[in-house]
Amino acid sequence: MKCEEFMRQLDNYECLTDAQKAEMNEHTLICERCREELDFYLSIVAEARNLPPIDVPPDFLDKLNEKLDMEDTAKKTGIAYYAKRYWKQYAACAAGLALVAAVAAGSTMFMNRMNEVVDGTKREETVANNKSNSNGDAAASSAVPAKESGSAADNPQTDSTKQALPKEISDIIASPSSVASADNRRTSQTTNTQSSSVFNRITNNRDYSVSDAAGNNDEASNSDLSANATTETAEQPSFGQRIIPEKNGDDYGIALAGVIDIMTNKEEKTYDIRPEDVSSALRASEIKEKYSLAENSENIAFGQYYIIDENGNPVEDEAEVPAIGAIKVSSTDKEKAEQVISQYPHDENGSVYTTNSENLSNILSDLSEEGVEYTDYTLAGSGDVKFRIDY
């Protein structure tokens, strides 16, 4: 055995056959330098294997159980579970939710009044349902009257709600455009007042199972609230499940969802922008403040859904958009290349693969190991990378 071969095999020493090891050992008898290298290597491996583990803190399980208790408590309160996880986003949207609730209250009163005309008992049922659903959304419940009065002005609770709202939101409520929005909402879609959970507008994508939501009585209350109401199943995503918010261009209200993919650790949050925010009532700067958007988020548009990216905003900054790289592979190696890629977590969109830089690095090294020749690919960043295979 020559020294070059010895050195090449050294890093792979553990995986060598006994015969190969014997050959190397034989070489060390005649080559001092190689013997030193082998000793050095074996010492490092032995030392790594003997590194003492760090201790488990005595209160580790206690602390963990405290966290789990909090999880349990939060889960029981439905939205609070997500509010705890995404409190910043929720805080930013709180004003919006309050507005939805306040305007919806007006709608409820209108519908109740209509119901009262048609059927005197209907109103009572609706109020009862409103009460039963009020636990689901604290913000909404505080903003919505528990009992109906003749008008908003006559209702002290509605008045106090208005006072509690930021000025710009009060202005929206008073503005003609908001009245138009309220009318539109009243006639075109479900208006589930107190239980207008942020998840109400999320539909169950058939690819993903979604657990039941806090408001189990929503369907009942919806049907009571309006004869025109379309029943939406109020569903709340459970942890680890992806959800697809319903894309409804003229939908009203804020859809906000927090989902974590347990295997990829990616947190994804989506919400839509309310129509009145993009029209005349609020300017872009106010929207940014309200939704915690990034500086360059001028292009937000009603009806669009934005994936909150790594910066915590829904704007794909230039630096965050990875270039689509191309790995050129001979067509004869197509199968091998696809097999290698399939071994690493990735998303596929047509011919474009998305994975992280570590996986791509592994893919490239595996391609080499499989004897697949490819052109060098330069990563555009350290986060997710997109690439396609050209044959």
State the nearest-atom distance from the C-beta of 181 to other proteins, in Å. 38
CA atoms of 144 and 194, how far apart (whole Å): 7
Contact 367, 332 (CB under 8 A): no
Nearer to other proteins, 71 or 289 (CB): 71
What lies within 8 Å, CB to CB, of 377 at 6+ separation is 325, 326, 327, 360, 364, 387
Nearer to other proteins, 52 or 176 (CB): 52
State the nearest-atom distance from the C-beta of 55 to other proteins, in Å. 8
State the nearest-atom distance from the C-beta of 136 to other proteins, in Å. 21
CA nearest neighbour of 229 among 114, 101, 99: 114
Q: What is the DSSP string of 263-282?
A: TT--EEEEEE--HHHHTTSS
Nearer to other proteins, 19 or 150 (CB): 19
State the nearest-atom distance from the C-beta of 91 to other proteins, in Å. 21
Nearer to other proteins, 53 or 150 (CB): 53
Contact 317, 348 (CB under 8 A): no
Interface residues with other proteins (CB under 8 A) are 11-12, 14-15, 39-41, 43-45, 47-54, 56-57, 60-61, 63-65, 67-68, 71, 239-240, 262-265, 310, 343-345, 357-358, 361-362, 365-366, 369, 378-383
CA atoms of 221 and 200, how far apart (whole Å): 13
- The CA-to-CA distance between both ends of the chain, in Å, stands at 40
State the nearest-atom distance from the C-beta of 306 to other proteins, in Å. 20
State the nearest-atom distance from the C-beta of 218 to other proteins, in Å. 24
Nearer to other proteins, 22 or 45 (CB): 45
Q: Is 253 left (phi over 0), alpha (psi -120 to 50) or beta?
A: left
Nearer to other proteins, 45 or 227 (CB): 45
Beta bridge partners of 390: 328
